[in-house]
Chains A and B, each alone.
Chain A
């Protein structure tokens, strides 16, 4: 049960408080326990946060492509009048699945990828608090996402929009199984998010390196922590809503049937109590990434670090009090509308604080416009546009006019693409050498960046115009005779948006080309510290060893790595930094003082098996109750296997049996 993460010298401290412990001998596996460190088994049964982080990233990228293709089909349909690419029904499925995929299967897991990979590294830990739960979270996410997408082949996807408003989601209006797949799939990915949230919160709170107080925590880790708290409290609310939706659709309950006296706003409230914090769940990790990158390429510490931390936390808190601004048009009554209107204006303040802090970080700095820096500046600019159109929604009368028009679509794409996605790409360029030991090509990266920026502005910019002209969201065709004239002709702007979407797609494609080009044979290995970085994750090799750090680093400063490389020789409040050590020397110093024996927890079958029981049960809910029972049995077996399994594999599970397979030599 215990998770132990301690420096070697802490062993002696254990005396009278030593708890009573049974040491199990066998792993209770039907098969030999997986202990391989190479090959496909080392990935399938891994509990290493770095491997899981990479898998999160790969799967998220796959779903990004799926969601992107869905978006391109939508734009093809709207490129000209009376589009015939998609039928009305297919169009409904396409925009629902596009949004669901991008939100739940791309942005959230991509943020989880970075969180998984870098939070333990940034806090100087060797893994997360619960490595097996971490593995379970990844597999639950993957199986949930695949389950959701199998609906395409089993009668069609969900078609009610990503918020699936009632009563439109009931069987009468959506007779296919799409909505069932949607609800159950999100339950599964929700379980993944919830377990991930608990895991990362405990990791950040409890497993920081010696000396790392909360106010010395790298800013990315801080933002991840805030996001995990949002997830912790938002996921159960959507869980309740999804359960009721399932009872309504599969078991004839009437929670959302207006004809049975139900309140149609119940779903909206539950959904948006989850849904608005969700917006910050999407964007705060990117804020963290940007806040890491800007100081590095400005060669200045983050301006007002405490303010950036507190404004992040403030966004987290206030994010709970603004949900009804999604419902201004539903007739809440003037008092509610006024209250939520003011709260929505208020949340712009901490967001604005961040933007000011970022600009002041750059102010007077030695700027280096590398690709990660370009993306970060892109976030500042594009997110500000999205933020400003967001403030226009907080004004209820204006929002009533904009509700359900493309203006809203323009707004949230500037926020989510311009804020979250650009930030994630910044993170990829910035941390690629850390994760894979190769630099991504800078020249291709610049083209990638500019095509993405041009593409996104061409795509989402015109949506402001067509939206204010009144083009409704979710409308599957537009006709020439109602397109309007002159500058405001929506036909023209729709065509521009469609062209833009392909420019954007080309930009994203270049990212994949860049990966290929950068990993071709003969490309150079990345230097140890390519960016002159500042935080703890760089005090180890590229990519990091399996145990992350040879010695758990002692932390004396925010930007610990920077302070090990540079010394302040200024006086009277004037700083003058001189390099005293290279990155190689700093890392060598750690390696020369490595901890003696480091034991890592062994891989396990149970996380993937337990996760696999979830979609089986979900198919059972839709098709056959026996599948539910079968899935439950598998889940139960996995639970017991999990609970009875020792943390490290017994020696005879190794082949050849050896007690030293996981040992890391002191100077390795």
Chain B
């Protein structure tokens, strides 16, 4: 993701980062990126809130939602944040084996959530709620679809990281790399809490 700009000694190309604030550049960049993502989801959520009531009589939020099912998949996603914390904690202790285990479990839970979303979308589609059925359906699929893509990208990154740790190919600071992945993952989870509340729990 980033590069070594300058190092004074050939054999030390890591560690002891000099920075004006003491924060690492990578971490700062990740926070900036997540700040930007807030506005992305802000725009998508606003659009959904504007259009949630614009649908035909029998295919609105109150008719199609299966709250118990979505609650279960939300629980799975939130648990993946827990396992992500365990992965970071293992990484801090230089425990490669457990880092890989917890990262894999996190990816697995994430995959379970995405599978749930695929199942949910399929069910809705069978009930007649296609992407272009109504403004409600378009904005719903766009919002949750964007979130699903974020989770999927996260899964791919987690699995890649597991592979890179196995082969000892992580470029730079391993602990921090795991932590950065964690930041991204938690952000995606927090966004889901918002979406779950605004989209599913609050009646239209």
Contacts and interface: CB of A to CB of B under 8 A. Distances in A.
A2 B172 contact: yes
A22 interface: yes
B35 A233 contact: yes
Contacts of B138: 247, 253-255
Interface string B1-43: 1111111111011111111110111101100110111111011
A20 B175 contact: yes
B160 interface: yes
A4 B171 CA distance: 13
Contacts of A208: 20
A278 to B, nearest CB: 14
Interface string A212-240: 10000000000000000000111111011
B20 A243 contact: no
B150 interface: no
Interface string B89-100: 000001000000
Contacts of B14: 2, 4, 18-19, 21
A261 B53 CA distance: 11
B86 interface: no
A205 B21 contact: yes
B3 to A, nearest CB: 4
Interface in A168-207: 194, 197-199, 201-202, 205-207
Contacts of A252: 131-132
Contact of B32 (A22, A232, A253): A232
Interface in B121-159: 131-132, 134-135, 138-139, 142
A4 B4 contact: yes
Given A1-B1, A4-B18, A18-B15, A243 B32 contact: no
A239 B50 CA distance: 18
A129 B15 contact: no
B169 A644 contact: yes
Given A1-B172, A254-B135, A239 B6 contact: no
A646 B5 contact: no
B26 to A, nearest CB: 6
Given A130-B3, A233-B36, A600-B5, A205 B135 contact: no
Contacts of B44: 240
A599 B6 contact: yes
Given A232-B32, A243-B142, A547 B40 contact: no
B70 interface: no
A181 to B, nearest CB: 22
A262 B55 CA distance: 11
A206 B39 contact: no
A408 B67 CA distance: 51
B160 A132 contact: no
Interface stretch (A442-450, A533-541, A590-598): A590-598
A232 B25 contact: no
A170 to B, nearest CB: 13
B19 A206 contact: yes
Contacts of A125: 5
A234 B36 CA distance: 8
A266 interface: yes
Interface string A1-36: 111111110110110011111111000000000000
A601 interface: yes
Given A1-B26, A126-B5, A648-B4, A266 B50 contact: yes
B168 interface: yes
A244 interface: yes
A251 B138 CA distance: 10
Contacts of B4: 2-4, 599, 601, 647-648
Contacts of B169: 22, 24, 644
Interface string A246-273: 0100011111000011110010001000
A199 B29 contact: yes
Interface residues of A, number: 81
A262 B160 contact: no
Contact of B13 (A4, A20, A127): A4
Contacts of B18: 4-7, 10
Contact of A236 (B36, B139, B164, B180): B36
B164 A597 contact: no
B32 A21 contact: no
A289 interface: no
A21 B15 contact: yes
Contacts of B82: none
B50 A4 contact: no
B16 A255 contact: no
A552 to B, nearest CB: 9
B174 interface: yes
A643 interface: yes
Given A4-B7, A254-B132, A260-B135, A17 B15 contact: yes
A11 B28 contact: no
Contact of A645 (B20, B23, B54, B171): B171
Contacts of B168: 22
A458 to B, nearest CB: 41
B177 interface: yes
B6 A126 contact: yes
Contact of B131 (A11, A132, A236, A251): A251
Interface of B: 1-10, 12-21, 23-26, 28-29, 32-33, 35-40, 42-44, 47, 50-51, 54, 94, 131-132, 134-135, 138-139, 142, 160, 164, 168-177, 180
CB-based closest 6 A-B pairs: A1-B172, A6-B18, A14-B16, A240-B43, A8-B8, A647-B4
25 contacts: A1-B2, A2-B26, A4-B5, A4-B14, A6-B17, A6-B18, A11-B9, A19-B14, A23-B13, A198-B29, A205-B20, A233-B39, A237-B40, A240-B40, A243-B142, A247-B138, A247-B142, A253-B131, A255-B47, A255-B139, A262-B54, A262-B135, A547-B6, A600-B6, A648-B4
Given A3-B4, A4-B13, A547-B6, 9 more contacts: A4-B6, A5-B19, A6-B7, A6-B16, A14-B16, A132-B3, A236-B38, A255-B138, A262-B135
